[in-house]
Amino acid sequence: MTARVIDGKAAATGVIERAKTAGAALAAKTGVRPGLAVVLVGEDAASQVYVANKGRTAEACGFHSVTHRLPTDTTEADLLAVIDQLNADPAIHGILQQLPLPRGLDANRVVGRIDPDKDVDGLTLVNAGRLASGMAGEAFVPCTPAGCMVLIRQVLGESLAGKSAVVVGRSNLVGKPMAQLLLLADATVTIAHSRTGDLARVCREADILVAAVGRPEMLGADCIKPGAVVIDVGINRIAAPERGEGKTRLVGDVDFAAASELASAITPVPGGVGPMTIAMLMANTVSAAYRAAGEAPPRF
C-alpha cells in the first residue's frame, strides 16, 4: 500500500478563499470588515516570520490587519494595556498573542486577558471550557487542531463514528483540543504521550493517528495500523549532511517513508498541517466578525 499524500497547501488555499469571500460578503451586508490584531513581544526570529505571514495573509483576505511589535523589555503591565486596548476596539474582532513570550512575562495571564469573543487562537480558559463541554459551535478552537479536522474530513467525511483515534501528545494547544474535536465527531479517542506504556501497540489500534509530540520521526512503522489516516503535526529541523555541510531539513513526528507503506493517507512535512494553521486563523477571524455583527458565522 502506498498512502495518499494529503495536500495541506491546497486545503489551506480553499479555506483562505472561503474566508476572503465570507469577509467581503459581511462587509457588503453590514459594513463590518473583519479585523485581526497580532501582538509580538521581542525579537524571536521564528515568531517574526510567523507574524509577517499572518499579517500578509490577513491583508490578502481583505481584513483590517494590525501588528503591535513591542520590545523585549516590555513590562507585563504595558503588554496587558495593549491587550485591553484591543479588547475595547470595535474594529478588531480577533486578537492573537504570539508565543513564546520573553522571560518575566506570564503567558497564561496575558492570554487570559484576551476577550474570549476575540480569542481567535482558542487559548483562553473560556474557549477551552466551551470546547470541552461540547459547545464547539460557540468556541474558538485552536487553529492547528481545527485545521487537522478539515484534513481528516477530506479523507473520511463528516462523521467518524466507529473510528478509533489516537492522539499522541497532550498539550493545551494541540493534543487536548484535538481529542475533543475527534470526540465531537463521534470517534473513540485515546490520548497517548511519551510516557504511555507500549506506545506502539496503542498507536497500532488507531484508524486515525494524530502525532503532536515534537520529536523527529518518533513514530515508525510499528506504530501504524494498515489503512490508517496519519496526521503529522510535528515540525522538526534535523541535520541533513547529504545536502551538504551544515544543511538541515524538516521532518515530522512520524517516519514518513515507513508510514507511507502502511497508511491509507498521510500528511507530509512540510506542506501538510502547517499551512492549515494560518488558514484556520483567518477562518476564526471571519467567524468572530460575523458574531460581532450579529450574523451566523460561516462553516469552514
Per residue in 115-136, pLDDT (tens digit) is 999 999 999 999 999 999 999 8
The verdict on whether residue 278 carries a ligand-binding annotation is no
Asked whether the predicted pLDDT for residue 244 surpasses 90, the reply is no
pLDDT per position as a tens digit, 181-228 = 999 999 999 999 989 999 999 999 999 999 999 999 999 999 999 999
Q: What is the mean pLDDT of residues 1-20?
A: 96
Name the pLDDT band for 45 (thresholds 50, 70, 90).
confident
Fold of 30-115: Rossmann fold (3.40.50)
Catalytic residue, chosen from 20, 117, 119, 121, is 121
Q: What is the mean pLDDT of residues 21-44?
A: 97
Question: Where, residue-wise, is CATH 3.40.50.10860 in the chain?
Answer: 30-115
Residue 85 annotated among the catalytic residues of the structure:
no
Strand ranges (E), the chain: 4-5, 35-41, 64-70, 94-97, 164-168, 188-192, 208-211, 229-232, 236-239, 248-251, 265-266
Q: What is the mean pLDDT of residues 254-270?
A: 97
Question: Where, residue-wise, is CATH 3.40.50.720 in the chain?
Answer: 143-275
Name the pLDDT band for 29 (thresholds 50, 70, 90).
very high
Percentage with pLDDT > 90 across the chain? 92
CA dihedral defined by 168, 166, 180, 47, rounded to 10 degrees? 30
**Res 250: pLDDT:** 92
Superfamily of domain 143-275: NAD(P)-binding Rossmann-like Domain (3.40.50.720)
Q: Which residues of 126-145 are buried (b: 16+ CB within 10 A; e: fewer)?
A: bbbebbeeeebeebbbbbbb
Mean pLDDT of the chain: 96
Name the pLDDT band for 104 (thresholds 50, 70, 90).
very high
The verdict on whether residue 129 carries a ligand-binding annotation is no
Residue 176 annotated among the catalytic residues of the structure:
no
The verdict on whether residue 169 carries a ligand-binding annotation is yes
**Res 1: pLDDT:** 67
pLDDT per position as a tens digit, 273-299 = 999 999 999 999 999 999 999 999 999
Contacts of 226-230 spanning 24+ positions with Cβ under 8 A = 226/1, 226/262, 226/263, 227/1, 227/262, 227/263, 227/264, 228/262, 228/263, 228/264, 229/152, 229/155, 229/156, 229/263, 229/264, 229/265, 229/266, 230/3, 230/254, 230/259, 230/263, 230/265, 230/266, 230/267
Catalytic residue, chosen from 97, 98, 232, 253, is 98
pLDDT per position as a tens digit, 54-84 = 999 999 999 999 999 999 999 999 999 999 9
pTM of the full predicted structure? 0.94
Residue 154 annotated among the catalytic residues of the structure:
no
pLDDT per position as a tens digit, 161-172 = 999 999 999 999
